[in-house]
Amino acid sequence: MLTDLPAWNALTHHCQTMRTVRMRDLFARSDGDARVATLSVEAAGLHLDYSKNRITPETMALLMQLAEEAGVLAARDAMLAGEQVNTTEHRAALHVALRAAPGEQYCANGEPVGPAVAAVLARMRDFSDAVRNGTWRGHDGQAITDVINIGIGGSDLGPRMACRALSHLASPRLRMHFVSNVDGVELTEILARVQPATTLVIVCSKTFTTLETMTNAHSTRDWFLAHGVPEAGLARHFVAVSTNTDAVRAFGIDPANMFEFWDWVGGRYSLWSAVGLSIVLSIGYEHFSELLAGAHAMDRHFATAAPLQNMPMILGMLGVWYRNFFDSASTCMAPYSASLELFPFHLQQLEMESNGKSVRKDGTPVSYRTSPIVWGTAGTNGQHAYFELLHQGMQLIPVDFIVPLKAPHTLPGHHAKVLANCFAQGEALMHGRTLDDITAQGVEPELAPHLACRGNQPSNTLLLPALTPHAVGALVALYEHRTFVQGAIWNINSFDQWGVELGKVLAKPILEELNGGASHPHDASTAALIRRARG
């Protein structure tokens, strides 16, 4: 039991001491430069300063002791060895193999996966080159100008985020569009902006049965036919990313235009696979290779670095520190870059779908907190929205500040202001502003309480050298591994999502009723809502 481990008990007692410690005093009492040097780490070109946390070297030693006692390193090695760490679905979770260096050997269920991965990557390269240089053309010979990726969850969020983050590298010839919501608004608005003869559609679904994806795919297919594209010409406008050849063929897509991936690729870890075809089309295969290389560099760091120098281990264990010992209910992701504005949304799925669990791997209930709520937006917008809560609210909410030192597109003086605001927010959250600070400035006593900020709010600052594909790849892989570390501590399966499946199952009979079919048993509230919707 996790809570019976010696390190857990030691951390419980240590936390009582640290609750009354103020970070501003930790910096003031010791050599601040030495604290920063001790509590900073480099990995895969990224720099992490985690000195603005409610920690001492003793805290970090105890956290890493907990990781050792809980078997985190053994769990990591099992994942990298291709063992069936997804225990409920009896699958490996081998997304690291998708970005492996040539010659590295990864096996799933004892079978090498490298040759199959290389073959799909080669097909992605050839196909993307053909679309980008105009060799691949629509049914009437016109070059493709627009690409629509139809997916949901991991088949949408990861590629959408990466394309946005690296949009400064996008082909000037191709416009990328993403459709996920089944409400029809998103798809209708996109179809109004594109022309059938010059549009390519990627239907991205592992099973090719996902309700939202297939509804949008069929509506798009109908749109092509209604706009004069002959059925035989659809093959020049549709490709599939899937594992289900029969369903792809039944939809009308030539299996020759299907890009395969495998059951050991989880949806939220899939942007590195054929699911990333939209990324390759947008930024080109060379840049996509750099994205993979950045993720691979972080993989090697995670696999080899000592725990106290291991960036994913550090971030993961800091998350455990606040979630389980300070009972922090949420964590804020604040990327100070408009290009990274979708990164918090990607992390929401990555972390909450992975670790939002209430049973251990053996099926017994957990007796401790698991995933916090993950939220956030791009800075500096967030400063004018929810930062008031961070500074003067009553909750303890750790913040991850993420900022590139160089911006891909900027105007004179703009990026310096971004950096200044990012660094200032971390300083303000840590230092705060006491009543003594305020009254010393001559502020009227009755106003002083309104100006006070309690401070002592923890944050990490993660610096990217620039928004290069390598840096973005390393960033995403870092948070993948951080999520894994926390799941390993909590002894939960970070690779299934059975809660999501329940809602899908219940939606089917309700849809049947809304369409005039037979009634099914429901609770009184759901039954009343169905009656009202039917009129």
Q: How far apart are the C-alpha atoms of 123 and 438, rounded to whole Å?
A: 64
Has residue 406 got a pLDDT over 80? yes
Give the pLDDT score at 366. Answer: 96
Has residue 45 got a pLDDT over 80? yes
Has residue 311 got a pLDDT over 90? yes
pTM of the predicted model as reported, rounded to 2 decimal places: 0.96
Q: Write down the catalytic residue from 168, 504, 508, 512.
A: 504
User: 403 is written with which tokens?
Assistant: 């900022």
Confidence of residue 29 (pLDDT cuts 50, 70, 90): confident
Q: Write down the catalytic residue from 260, 351, 353, 513.
A: 353
Measured in degrees and rounded to the nearest 5, phi and psi for residue 124 equal -60, -40
Rounded mean pLDDT of the chain?
95
* Angle made by CA atoms 177, 181, 185, in degrees to the nearest 5: 75
Known catalytic residue at 357: no
515-529 core/surface letters (b: 16 or more CB in 10 A; e: else): eeeeeeeeeeeeeee
- Give me the mean pLDDT over the 86-94 stretch: 95
Q: How far apart are the C-alpha atoms of 511 and 508, rounded to whole Å?
A: 5
Confidence of residue 307 (pLDDT cuts 50, 70, 90): very high
Known catalytic residue at 504: yes
Lowest mean pLDDT among 67-76, 91-100, 306-315, 517-526: 517-526
CA distance readout (Å), 268 to 164, 206, 350, 498: 17, 12, 6, 14
Has residue 30 got a pLDDT over 80? no
Confidence of residue 187 (pLDDT cuts 50, 70, 90): very high
Give the pLDDT score at 442. Answer: 87
Q: Write down the catalytic residue from 90, 384, 444, 446.
A: 384
Known catalytic residue at 388: no
Give the pLDDT score at 158. Answer: 97
Which tens digits make up the pLDDT trace of 232-277? 999 999 999 998 999 999 999 999 999 999 999 999 999 999 999 9
